[in-house]
């Protein structure tokens, strides 16, 4: 019988050498554990280098998705966001499942604890898991009718001015919605509604919903409230006035915006696939992470 996960990639918090050194023991333990199960193990090259893992198969982040059946991410939500975008941008024919081991703070996306990781990984390898699709957002920036940026975000696309109010026009499916003055606007997937959008007063959307939430950041008019639209909608935001506007994807990639730039946000063609331990409950996660009691 063919193994469901015959090859597995391990990615640590590859952007942070200090963090990788701190989790060196756990990474080595996981590599050894999987290798003993006759699984082909690949380690992202920066992870292997900074965690001093020797004698392991290494590969680049951009190539991982074409080589493995499962990706294990050890880090925080930021690492998971970055890995999810990388897998999507390599245009795989189908999503590669992601498992998150939490070495960050909140861990909305990385729900395995390091002290339980080997037991929980074994359960996943045995097929004892829950799979969950999460939609991504695709953002394009048009300047004088020419596309100057195209990228994806798992959490949110943020249009923001750092120093003063900016003016924007918002259209949904070509229909005018509003002209608003605010510090910015967050266009969030359901996954992202527990991130920046939540701190800006937006609603929490269950990840099973197919929707995009538009949340203003410190709007000048108090009646300017968040709005949620179906994920099939085309959301267009035009920068009407701003001195220092920027667009960011998951808070990790930034693009300077000019007056007249149009930002178009749609649902991405492909979802990502998360694997959770059996018995995972989204509401339990919210209650624990947000201290609802």
CB < 8 Å & 24+ apart, contacts of 221-226: 221/180, 221/181, 224/178, 224/180, 224/182, 226/197, 226/201, 226/202
Catalytic: 77?
yes
Distance (Å, rounded) from C-alpha 147 to C-alpha 168? 19
Cβ neighbours of 5 (radius 10 Å): 20
Distance (Å, rounded) from C-alpha 23 to C-alpha 249? 27
CB < 8 Å & 24+ apart, contacts of 120-127: 120/277, 121/30, 121/33, 121/34, 121/72, 123/277, 123/278, 124/5, 124/70, 124/99, 124/275, 124/277, 125/3, 125/4, 125/5, 125/37, 125/39, 127/4
Distance (Å, rounded) from C-alpha 265 to C-alpha 212? 9
**Contact between residue 270 and residue 88 where contact means Cβ atoms under 8 Å apart:** yes
Six-digit token string for 40: 């082909």
Q: Which of 16, 38, 69, 77 does the annotation list as catalytic? A: 77
**Contact between residue 137 and residue 266 where contact means Cβ atoms under 8 Å apart:** yes
Q: Considering only CA atoms, which of 109, 130, 133 is closest in space to residue 280?
A: 130
Distance (Å, rounded) from C-alpha 42 to C-alpha 52? 14
Using DSSP bridges, classify how beta strands 7-11 and 40-44 pair: parallel, antiparallel or unpaired: parallel
Residues forming the active site: 77
């Amino acid at each position: 019988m063919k193994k469901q996960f015959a090859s597995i990639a391990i990615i640590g918090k590859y952007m942070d050498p200090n963090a990788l050194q701190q989790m060196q023991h756990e990474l080595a333990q996981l590599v050894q554990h999987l290798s003993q199960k006759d699984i082909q193990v690949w380690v992202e090259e920066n992870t292997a280098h900074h965690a001093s893992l020797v004698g392991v198969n290494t590969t680049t982040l951009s190539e991982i998705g074409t080589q493995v059946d499962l990706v294990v991410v050890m880090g925080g939500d930021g690492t998971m966001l970055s890995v999810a975008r990388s897998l999507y941008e390599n245009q795989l024919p189908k999503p590669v499942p992601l498992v998150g081991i939490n070495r960050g703070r909140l861990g909305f996306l990385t729900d395995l604890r390091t002290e339980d990781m080997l037991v929980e990984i074994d359960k996943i390898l045995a097929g004892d898991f829950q799979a969950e699709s999460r939609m991504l957002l695709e953002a394009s920036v048009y300047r004088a009718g020419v596309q100057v940026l195209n990228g994806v975000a798992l959490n949110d696309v943020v249009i923001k001015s750092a120093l003063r109010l900016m003016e924007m026009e918002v259209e949904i499916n070509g229909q005018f919605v509003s002209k608003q003055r605010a510090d910015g606007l967050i266009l969030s997937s359901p996954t992202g509604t527990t991130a920046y959008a939540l701190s800006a007063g937006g609603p929490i959307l269950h990840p099973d919903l197919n929707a995009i939430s538009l949340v203003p950041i410190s709007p000048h008019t108090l009646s300017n409230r968040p709005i949620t639209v179906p994920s099939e909608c085309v959301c267009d935001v035009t920068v009407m006035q701003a001195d220092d506007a920027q667009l960011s994807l998951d808070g990790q990639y930034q693009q300077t915006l000019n007056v007249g730039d149009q930002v178009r946000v749609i649902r991405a063609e492909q979802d990502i696939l998360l694997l959770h331990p059996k018995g995972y409950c989204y509401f339990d996660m919210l209650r624990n992470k947000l201290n609802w009691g």
